Structure 1
Amino acid sequence: GNGRDLLLKCTTCAAITNLHIRQPKSITVPFILTDGPHSRRTEIELDDDEELTVGDVFEDDEMLWSINQIIDNSGHKKTTLMSTDAAIISALRTDMVRVKITTTRGEYSDSSSMLVDYGTKFTADTKIDYQGEVWRIRAIHTGAGRTLRGTVEAQDIKRIYLHEPPNLEHFEPKTPRERRQAWKEGRLGYNPNPEPPKEVTKKRVTPSNKRKKKRPRK
């Protein structure tokens, strides 16, 4: 067959042996490749002396996959197995991760997903640009439950909950009292003698700090 036959002599004892070098035979092993919610069955060519282990990473169709389950010919799960004894192998995509998203605007929620690099970090209670809009990460759901704070990597996330951040107008003071307090806190700039603007002064209400008009001299 294909290969080489070598005659070797030991330099220590002068013993002579024959060494047969043969390329391993190729076999096809069925794989189930899962990319987010989508799975497909395919057959991959392997060497017949190749050992497979859960966690091994390989490339197929210009994507990286990680073995997460090995089933032998008897239908049992194995951690390590020779390729000739494998009935089917499952693998998950590892170079990219599909993260499920729930966006909430007011009383309406919508579900979608986004594809990010493996290891991408998301931090709760921060802003994120998603589908051309700015959202706030309200919570991150992992296998252990929801977290309202902290950072989680994409591959450990079950779902991210996004809420529409309030507009800047939401934080603006709306009453004379709120404006005076805003002046005191320095949120509206420095003003030693703050006065509420006329457009927010209620009708028929005279502000307490409004100056009285002087009477003209007779």
Structure 2
Amino acid sequence: MDEEDDWDEEEEVLDNATHCPSCDEMTAHDILREKKVGNGADFKVRCLTCHHVHTVEFRPPPPTNIPFILTDGPDSQRVVLVVDADEEFVVGDVFEEAEMLWRIHQIETKSGLMTKGESAKNIARVTALRTDMVRVKLTLTRGEDSTADVLVVPQETKFTGSHLMEHKGETWRIRAIHTGTGRTMRGTVDAPDIKRMYLHEPPNPEHFTPRTPRERRQAWKEGRLGHNPNPERPKEHIKKGVNPNPPRNRSRKKKRD
């Protein structure tokens, strides 16, 4: 701990640090004069160590044009962005353009090679995918019919298997979520990780209506007969002339002599 404290105490901050040709190292300098040259400037400085006076030129890197292919789902557009020639681009970096976020997907150099990172002056083309909104492919099944659709949601959206969701004014149940590496029927998955989501139309409430005395008794036990809380069948379901609750006493057979 003492050595670290000594190191912190010895750390020195240099004002206007730049390379001194006389000392041949980075030293602090006084700025004697500044002269603007184009978009840059020339500084006449004096080394505080050896008092050598020299000129330091600061020039911004020249701008360069890079074609970007911006892909948003099935739609792609080509735009040309002006950047500094020494700016570095790396696959996976996120940048903003047209009030949207894009993630660099591919970088092609002027020699025709694909690379994971390169400076702007050597880049021929950059491909980027929109990242602030995610397109989730859907398969919607209604009975025997299935249709395909796409849902566009914010990147941070999550979906959980077996849950209900609204889509175009209708309620659907998430039957399964396919991630490319597997499928889950009850797990929660981030929207960017979803390859396809399978939705089924929820059963009609009439599907759960008990139809037989046995089903009604079970529904009564489970408390699902709120408007008619008993196992008896409603009168409108009983045919005329039929006793809904026939006696259960069986006639006994006569013994043989």
Give TM-score scaled by structure 1 length.
0.88
Aligned to 1:120: 157
Bigger CA drift: 182-191 or 136-145?
A: 182-191
Bigger CA drift: 47-56 or 179-188?
A: 179-188
* 1:25 lines up with 2:97 in the alignment: no
1:31 partner amino acid: F
The one of the two structures with greater contact order (alpha-carbon pairs below 8 A, sep at least 6) is 1
Deviations 1:11-57 (A, max 9, x none): 23323232111122111111111101112222111111101111111
Aligned to 1:164: 201
Deviations 1:138-166 (A, max 9, x none): 11121213221211111111111111101
% identity of equivalent residues = 58
* 1:182 lines up with 2:204 in the alignment: no
**Contact residue 102 and residue 110 of structure 1 kept, 8 A:** yes
* 1:81 lines up with 2:144 in the alignment: no
SS at match of 1:104: strand
Paired with 2:77 and 2:235, the residues of 1 have a C-alpha distance of 67
Query: Aligned pair count?
Result: 211
**Contact residue 175 and residue 200 of structure 1 kept, 8 A:** no
Paired with 2:218 and 2:224, the residues of 1 have a C-alpha distance of 9
Deviations 1:92-141 (A, max 9, x none): 10111111112111111111212110121011111000001101111112
Give TM-score scaled by structure 2 length.
0.75
Note the aligned Cα RMSD (angstroms): 2.2
* 1:9 lines up with 2:25 in the alignment: no
SS at match of 1:71: strand
Gap runs ≥5 in structure 1: 211-218
Paired with 2:150 and 2:51, the residues of 1 have a C-alpha distance of 68
Deviations 1:57-86 (A, max 9, x none): 111112110101111122222111000111
- CA shift in 2, pair 1:177/1:202, >3 Å: farther
